[in-house]
Amino acid sequence: MRYRKTTSSLFVLCAAALVLSACGAELDETADQAVVPEDEGDDGEGLDVDAQAEGDGPLIAFVAFTQDITEMAGQQIIGLEAAFEEAGFEYTMNTAAPAGAEDHDGMDRILQDTATLAPDYAIVNPASYALVDDRIAEIEAAGTTTIVGAIDPGTLEESPDADPLTWVAVDEYAMGHNGAEFLAQGYCEAGEDITVVPFWGPAASEISQDRVGGALDALDDTLGECGLEYEVVDEVFADFNREKAFRFTETIVTAHPDVDLIIGANSNTALGVMESLTAQGRIDDIDILGNGGQLDELAAICRGDITAAGFRDAYQMGFDMAEAIMRDWEGNGEEVPEVTLSDLPVTHDCESVFDAVPMQMLEHEGFQDNIPDGTWEEFTR
């Protein structure tokens, strides 16, 4: 995990300086930089602090930086609801999300409201754990049992103050590493050096650092083994934002028309890059590595518009969260593992998508409406 360890100071510096444009690995002030668009002004969805449990089951607060059903947190909710329904478990769930992954103030307000509400359980999916650890500890001090999603505590540089019932996550470093390793094997077969542009998430995001850092380490290792090299010709912070990624891509491709690979720190970033390359008529010229595997990203992989992505099974993550809550509610919290990590297959074509992704996810219109005609019938018969 070399890259994660060696870049932490860079990301602290970028975050402290509120750097929202390109931030080169060597802090090269002369490098080409893109301008980040203004916030779109979405206020997000607040938490109902007057919510009460209905019936005999627990009150659950679910907080994430987005709850779109095509994205990780939305798929977690689907998994949660499916697990509770399957078990006949009664519950009341209150959800909230800030305006976006970069809206740290909005997330902070929601977590303060969660401490005020003091539900039985709080599930928190942060963009940056370091910015929410103290709030999660406050929520626990109010008597709430917490579950943290999307963060592997083994990757944190400091021991957390919070003590969740469980961490339900994936190894984000391995996600980026696995996807880039798959692509690098293809580059080795082609026998040519490549140029790369990483599209990082928010500067303070451990998830972004681990995913993109893992991808760059995989390129370094795999290409090095076959005598090839890669060059990072530029990099930007796209904040996990699809619109920003779209706008940045035009600038990047204009400045570096021969770039071979763009790495997106999450699904939305990869999708924004894809849409921009399509609009520019360059979709067949440049590889895109995504991270996460949300529904429309999986459909894009099926179409061949996104080259590959490490797949995180968010539906299963939600199922695991529900099982942890049910065990604890029944007095068996000691049976819940401290950390639950899921597998990270690489999706790179329709066959790999249908092999790796639960059918409950693929049945949603976010996937089915975006795949070529006849594809569903071909892979489900």
Q: Is the separation of the CB atoms in 111 and 86 below 8 Å? A: no
Select from 372, 376, 290, 360 the least CA-distant residue to 69: 360
Instruction: Give the containing element (helix H, strand E) for 200.
Output: strand 194-200
Helices 104-117, 133-141: crossing angle, 10 deg rounding: 10
DSSP letter for 349, please: S
Q: What would the two tokens of residue 48 be?
A: 């109902």
pLDDT band at 70 (very low <50, low <70, confident <90, very high): low
Q: Could you report the per-residue pLDDT of 25-64, keeping only the tens digit for each?
A: 332 333 333 333 333 334 567 888 888 888 889 999 999 9
Q: Give the pTM.
A: 0.77
Q: Could you report the per-residue pLDDT of 121-140, keeping only the tens digit for each?
A: 999 999 889 999 999 999 99
Higher pLDDT, 268 or 54: 268
Lowest mean pLDDT among 59-73, 170-184, 308-322: 59-73
Average pLDDT over every residue of 314-334: 97
Q: Could you report the per-residue pLDDT of 345-376, keeping only the tens digit for each?
A: 999 999 999 999 999 889 989 899 999 999 99
Select from 77, 119, 20 the least CA-distant residue to 318: 77
Greatest extent of the chain over all pairs of C-alpha atoms, in Å: 64
For 96, the 3-state DSSP assignment is: strand
Higher pLDDT, 96 or 11: 96
What average pLDDT does the structure give for the chain? 88
pLDDT at res. 69: 67
User: What's the burial of 202, exposed, middle or buried (CB within 10 Å: 0-12/13-18/19+)?
Assistant: buried
Q: Is the separation of the CB atoms in 7 and 213 below 8 Å? A: yes
pLDDT at res. 66: 80
The distance of Cα 311 from the centroid of its chain, to the nearest Å, equals 10
Q: How far apart are CA 377 and CA 47, in angstroms?
A: 41
**Alpha-carbon distance values, 39 to 20, 149, 261 (Å):** 11, 26, 27
The domains of the chain, with CATH numbers, are 2-23+172-312+346-380 (3.40.50.2300), 59-170+313-341 (3.40.50.2300)
Q: Could you report the per-residue pLDDT of 290-300, keeping only the tens digit for each?
A: 999 999 999 99
Higher pLDDT, 8 or 277: 277
pLDDT at res. 31: 34
pLDDT band at 17 (very low <50, low <70, confident <90, very high): very low
**Does residue 9 surpass a pLDDT of 70?**
no
For the chain, how far is it from start to end, CA to CA, in angstroms? 42
